[in-house]
């Protein structure tokens, strides 16, 4: 009997160096960046369609999310100068550089728009800055997925196709849920939230089906527990959001509970993805098995090309 393979490395060290990103800084940064991006887009559309309450909620949420996410990023970096140093150059081949140049102007525009919303000063200028933040919003919701997938961390790198959709759907669900605070003007926000939740759940399921053995990092341990809770909260929030749109009584209460569930599900999804990647970086199996599989597939393809076609 041959014993089952035990994937170990010299001195029990990880094959790749796990990221030094901290909790809760980076998961908070991932989650609030998505909320801010969708809220800015929602606020710009609400402004154009004459929904002042939804516009106000969206503008304030965009500014709050951008400010706190930048604060979490700076805290993770250790010193504010490290974030400023990333703005010294623009490197299109680096997701971190591109993301820094998305986050910095977005935060500035969203902050100026929220200040005008609160003070009533320069509403015309606020419309321009709000539109600018809305243009940058979609990029803000998804660039962090590209940032994770561009690393050597197996669970993130193998999921490079689905991660942008997971993050975009998660951001739509949470941003739309925030817009549900607008009460009578929350109809568009509910549609955004439900659409995002469906995308998030579908993309997460597709991710776990396609990445093969690496999917175990998302199904076991802390990441598996958190992602199961995320799916349950997102599904419950989606059902509540649909029902809230049809209720005449207690609609406000159902909307608030559903919005809380959707945001909890979105935050848990980001944290679960983060934790799954960290677990795969620490375990040599997640690096060795995909490499061997790719090598086997390449050898099989080469053999197929070299063999003469059967007659």
Mean pLDDT of 38-63: 96
The dihedral of CA 173, 99, 269, 27: what is its sign? Answer: negative
Q: Which are the contacts of 188, defined by CB distance < 8 A and separation ≥ 6? A: 42, 45, 46, 49, 51, 54, 179
Distances (CA, A) of 64 to 8, 42, 58, 108, 181: 45, 15, 10, 12, 15
With beta carbons less than 8 A apart as the criterion, state whether 159 and 146 touch. no
With beta carbons less than 8 A apart as the criterion, state whether 46 and 192 touch. no
Q: What would the two tokens of residue 56 be?
A: 């106000």
Q: What's the confidence (pLDDT) of residue 256? A: 94
Q: What's the confidence (pLDDT) of residue 96? A: 85
Query: Angle, nearest 10°, between helix axes 187-210 and 251-282?
Result: 30
Q: What's the confidence (pLDDT) of residue 287? A: 83
Q: Rounded to an integer, what distance in angstroms lies between the CA atom of residue 210 and that of residue 162?
A: 9
Q: Rounded to an integer, what distance in angstroms lies between the CA atom of residue 172 and that of residue 40?
A: 11
pLDDT band at 10 (very low <50, low <70, confident <90, very high): low
Q: Rounded to an integer, what distance in angstroms lies between the CA atom of residue 50 and that of residue 37?
A: 20
Task: Output the pTM of the full model.
Answer: 0.90
Q: Rounded to an integer, what distance in angstroms lies between the CA atom of residue 174 and that of residue 254?
A: 16
pLDDT band at 5 (very low <50, low <70, confident <90, very high): low
Measured in Å, how far apart are the chain's first and last C-alpha atoms? 41
Which among 258, 276, 254 has a CA at the least distance from the CA of 266? 258
Q: Rounded to an integer, what distance in angstroms lies between the CA atom of residue 28 and that of residue 40?
A: 18
Q: Rounded to an integer, what distance in angstroms lies between the CA atom of residue 176 and that of residue 181?
A: 9
Which among 76, 66, 55, 63 has a CA at the least distance from the CA of 31? 66
Position with higher pLDDT, 296 vs 116: 116
Q: Considering the chain, what is the average pLDDT of its residues?
A: 90
Position with higher pLDDT, 93 vs 288: 93
pLDDT in tens, 131-176: 999 999 999 999 999 999 999 999 999 999 999 999 999 999 999 9
Residue with tokens 């809760």: 24
With beta carbons less than 8 A apart as the criterion, state whether 169 and 231 touch. no
pLDDT band at 13 (very low <50, low <70, confident <90, very high): low
């Amino acid at each position: 009997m041959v014993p089952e393979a035990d994937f170990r490395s010299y001195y029990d060290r990880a094959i790749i160096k796990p990221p030094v990103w901290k909790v809760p800084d980076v998961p908070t940064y991932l989650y609030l960046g998505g909320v801010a991006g969708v809220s800015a887009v929602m606020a710009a559309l609400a402004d154009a369609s004459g929904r002042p309450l939804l516009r106000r909620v969206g503008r304030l949420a965009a500014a709050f999310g951008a400010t706190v996410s930048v604060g979490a990023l700076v805290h993770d970096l250790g010193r504010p100068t490290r974030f400023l140093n990333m703005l010294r150059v623009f490197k299109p081949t680096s997701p971190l550089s591109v993301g820094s140049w998305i986050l910095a102007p977005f935060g500035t525009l969203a902050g100026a728009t929220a200040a005008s919303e609160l003070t009533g000063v320069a509403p015309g200028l606020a419309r321009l800055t709000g539109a600018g933040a809305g243009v940058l919003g979609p990029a803000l919701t998804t660039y962090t997925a590209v940032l994770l997938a561009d690393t050597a961390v197996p669970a993130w790198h193998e999921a490079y196709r689905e991660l942008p959709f997971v993050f975009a759907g998660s951001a739509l669900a949470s941003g739309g849920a925030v817009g549900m605070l607008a009460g009578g003007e929350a109809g568009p926000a509910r549609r955004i939230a439900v659409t995002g939740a469906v995308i998030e759940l579908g993309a997460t399921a597709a991710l776990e089906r396609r990445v093969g053995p690496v999917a175990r990092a998302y199904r076991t341990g802390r990441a598996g527990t958190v992602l199961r809770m995320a799916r349950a909260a997102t599904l419950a929030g989606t059902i509540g959001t649909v029902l809230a749109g049809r209720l005449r009584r207690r609609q406000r209460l159902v909307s608030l509970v559903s919005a809380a569930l959707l945001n909890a599900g979105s935050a848990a999804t980001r944290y679960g993805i983060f934790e799954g990647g960290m677990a795969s970086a620490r375990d040599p199996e997640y690096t060795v098995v995909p490499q061997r599989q790719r090598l086997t597939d390449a050898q099989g393809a080469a053999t197929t090309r070299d063999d003469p076609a059967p007659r």
